[in-house]
Structure 1
Amino acid sequence: MAAADLSRLIEATANTIAAHAEELTRLDQAIGDGDHGLNMKRGFEAVRAEAGAFSAKPLPEALKAIGTKLVMTVGGASGPLFGTLFMALGKEIPAAPDRADLAAAFGKAIEAVAARGKSQAGQKTMLDVLQPVHEALLQGKTAADIVEIADNAADATVPMKALRGRASFLGDRSIGHMDAGARSTALLVRAVAEAIERRA
C-alpha cells in the first residue's frame, strides 16, 4: 500500500469518527460511561496528527504503530480493544496483502480482541460487528455489501443483553440500546471500505 493510500485511510477514519462523536457519546450515555465518542475522537485525531510518520512505514509496522497510539490516547476500555485490533492486524498482515491475506489477518486480529476483552460475539460488543465483517470478507462480498453487513450488525446489538463491559452492569436495562463500540466499529468499516472503493 502506497503512503498516500494509507494517509487517505487515516484521514477517512478520523473524519468519520469526528463526524459521529456526538452520536457515539449519546449511545454510550445510555448504557456506558458516556465518554466513548470523545475518547474515540481523541484517539483518531492523535493518529491523524502523525499520519505522515505512520504512512511512511511498511503497512504492518504502520498498523502496529497506529494500534499503539490508540491504546495510549483513546483511554477507557475502548483504547486497549481498538488498539489490539490494529496491532494484531499489523502483526499478521503482509506488506502487500491480497484479499485472502486481509481476511486471514483480520480473523487473527478478531481473536486477539476477543482474548483481550474476554468476550465473544453475541455479548453486545464490537465483536458483533467484527465477526460478520470477517465472514463477509471470506465470502468475497463487495465493499458495499460489507458496509451494509456492518451497519446491520450494529443495529442487531439493540435487542441484545450486554454481557461484557460497563453495560453488563445494567442487566436487562441494556436491552433496547445500540452498543457504542459496535457502532464505532461499523463506522470505521464504512470509512475504510469507501476510501478503498474511491481508490479503485
Structure 2
Amino acid sequence: MLDADFFRRWMTATAASVDREAARLTDLDSPIGDADHGSNLQRGFVAVTAALEKESPDTPGGVLTLAGRQLISTVGGASGPLYGTLLRRTGKALGDAVEVSQEQLADALRAGVDAVMALGGAAPGDKTMIDALVPAVDALGESFEAAKTAAEEGAAATTPLQARKGRASYLGERSIGHQDPGATSASLLIGALVEASGE
C-alpha cells in the first residue's frame, strides 16, 4: 500500500529529476516551443518541494492536491495548468484515503490524464505529454518499472509525429523530427515512481 510518505517521495524524486534534466527539456523546447519548459518546470517543482516541507498533508490525495496547486500558481505557459490539473485531479480521485493501492493510483491517474485531455484538447498521437501518460497509465497495473518504460517509449515515439496541439502545432511539418518536451517531462514524472518505491 502507498501512503502520504510515498507520494511525498514521488514529488521529491520528480523535482530532482526535473532539476537534473532541465537543460535537456529546454533544449527540446527550443526548436518547437518557447525554450522555457525546463526552467518553468524546475521553478514549479522547487515550489512543490518547499510547500511539502512547510505543510505535511497526511493523505496521498492531499499531497498531490497541494503539489498541483503549487504548479498552477508558479509555472507559466501551458505546463503549469496541465501538470497542476493532472496532479490535482489525481489527488481528488484518491479522496481522503490514508493509504491507496497501486491499482487505485492507476485509476486515479487515469482520471487525471482524462482531465488534462479535456483541458488541452489533446489525444494520443498529437505529440504532447498525453503520448507518454496514456501508455504509462495502461502499464501501471503491471509495475512502476513497466509504467516508466512505457512513458519513455511514448515520449521517444513523438519524434516522427507532426504536432497537432500546443505551441509546436503552429510549426506544422517543421515539428517533425523533434521529441516533444512535454512528453519527455511526463516520462520523468512517471519514472520518479520507481525511485519513490525503491523498486
Fold conserved between structures, TM > 0.5: yes
How far apart in 1 are the matches of 2:138 and 2:193?
Answer: 17
Shift of 1:193: 2.0
How far apart in 2 are the matches of 1:32 and 1:70?
Answer: 19
Q: Residue 159 in 1 paired to residue 160 in 2? A: yes
Q: Residue 48 in 1 paired to residue 53 in 2? A: no
Instruction: Tell me the equivalent position of 2:118.
Output: 115
Instruction: Tell me the equivalent position of 1:78.
Output: 79
State the secondary structure of the residue aligned to 1:34: coil
Cα RMSD (Å): 1.5
Deviations 1:158-184 (A, max 9, x none): 001000111000000000000000000
How does 1:1-200 map onto structure 2 within 5 Å?
1-94=2-95, 95=97, 96-137=99-140, 140-196=141-197, 198=198
Shift of 1:107: 1.2
Unaligned runs of 5+ in 2: none
Unaligned runs of 5+ in 1: none
| Ranges of 4+ aligned residues in structure 1 off by more than 3 Å | 1-7, 53-57
Paired amino acid for 1:160: L
Contact 2:10 2:195 in 1 (8 A): no
Q: How many residues align?
A: 196
Paired amino acid for 2:117: A
State the secondary structure of the residue aligned to 2:100: coil
Paired amino acid for 1:112: A
Shift of 1:93: 1.0
Shift of 1:49: 1.1
Shift of 1:2: 4.4
Shift of 1:194: 2.2
State the secondary structure of the residue aligned to 2:53: helix
Q: What TM-score do you get using the length of structure 1 for normalisation?
A: 0.92
Contact 2:8 2:63 in 1 (8 A): no
Q: What TM-score do you get using the length of structure 2 for normalisation?
A: 0.93
Classify 1:54/1:131 alpha carbon distance in 2 versus 1 (closer, same or farther; 3 Å). Answer: farther
Classify 1:144/1:62 alpha carbon distance in 2 versus 1 (closer, same or farther; 3 Å). Answer: closer
How far apart in 1 are the matches of 2:40 and 2:112?
Answer: 21
Paired amino acid for 2:26: T
How far apart in 1 are the matches of 2:101 and 2:145?
Answer: 18
State the secondary structure of the residue aligned to 1:37: helix
The worse-fitting range, judged by mean Cα deviation, of 92-101 and 34-43 is 92-101
Deviations 1:127-175 (A, max 9, x none): 00110011112xx322222211111110000001000111000000000
